[in-house]
């Protein structure tokens, strides 16, 4: 039996392709379990924004690696108010614009830049104690020892429809399709997220509502870890 006063924190890692429901699911799970929330993809997007603003091309690998190492990144890991700032400037709203989605894979493919950002992710996880982390490589590279590791999947048509709804008309169907399917193809060169690794639970969200997926994830968390530890 786990002693509540000494119980370790809770780390839930959620992986999967674009539009599978990682963000919505992870935010809601974090809110219901009293956890912090980290969208690691936002860190790669922030790197892409910083590099674009400073005219650093994705194929200038030395400059990209240096940018990732020195990136003036500040993150508020909250499910209710997740924000990302660069050099003190809030860039959260900018991160999911089509032009950023179209270029992020090129920067994320730079191996040493990934290593630098992965180290930052692990530091945020360690500092948070209880956290739901979502994004590429989370279940296998960033948090392979998480208490629960989940791979969310969904068929491409459903993923494209979900991304269209998220963008609320900001991009047409062709652009959204290219972002979802094209980014999966680009990211697959540097990240494995299509099949679950050993110990990773696969959830197909194609025919499930958000609430059903959230319930499934929470149902997989050991009962003694669902409530934050309380001091006596």
The CA distance from 138 to 52, in Å, is: 25
Is 68 annotated as belonging to a binding site? no
The DSSP string of 112-173 is: HHHHHHHHHHHHHHHHHSEEEEESTTIIIII-TT-SEEEEEE--HHHHHHHHHHHHTTSS-H
The CA distance from 208 to 177, in Å, is: 21
Q: Which residue has the tokens 């068929």?
A: 155
User: Which value, to the nearest 10 degrees, does the dihedral of the CA atoms of residues 56, 58, 63, 67 take?
Assistant: 80
Is 20 annotated as belonging to a binding site? yes
Is 77 annotated as belonging to a binding site? no
Is 17 annotated as belonging to a binding site? yes
Torsion sign, CA atoms 192, 12, 101, 156: positive
Is 135 annotated as belonging to a binding site? no
Q: Which residue has the tokens 């603003």?
A: 53
The CA distance from 231 to 224, in Å, is: 15
The CA distance from 31 to 55, in Å, is: 38
In this structure, are residues 87 and 94 in contact, taking their beta carbons and an 8 Å threshold? no
Annotated binding site: 16-24
Annotated binding site for ATP: 16-24
């Amino acid at each position: 039996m786990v002693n509540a006063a000494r119980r370790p924190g809770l780390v839930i890692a959620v992986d999967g392709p674009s539009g599978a429901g990682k963000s919505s699911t992870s935010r809601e799970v974090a809110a219901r379990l009293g956890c912090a929330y980290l969208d690691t993809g936002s860190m790669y997007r922030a790197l892409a924004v910083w590099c674009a603003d400073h005219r650093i091309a994705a194929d200038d690998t030395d400059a990209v690696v240096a940018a990732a190492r020195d990136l003036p990144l500040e993150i508020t890991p909250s499910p209710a108010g997740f924000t990302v700032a660069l050099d003190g400037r809030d860039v959260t709203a900018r991160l999911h614009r089509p032009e950023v989605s179209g270029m992020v894979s090129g920067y994320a493919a730079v191996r040493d830049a990934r290593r630098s950002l992965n180290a930052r992710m692990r530091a945020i996880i360690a500092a948070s104690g209880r956290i739901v982390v979502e994004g590429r490589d989370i279940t296998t590279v960033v948090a392979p020892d998480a208490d629960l590791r989940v791979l969310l999947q969904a068929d491409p048509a459903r993923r494209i429809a979900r991304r269209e709804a998220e963008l609320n008309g900001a991009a047409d169907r062709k652009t959204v399709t290219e972002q979802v399917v094209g980014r999966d193809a680009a990211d697959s060169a540097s990240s494995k997220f299509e099949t679950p690794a050993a110990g990773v639970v696969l959830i197909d969200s194609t025919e499930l509502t958000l609430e059903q997926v959230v319930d499934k994830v929470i149902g997989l968390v050991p009962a003694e870890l669902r409530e934050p530890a309380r001091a006596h």
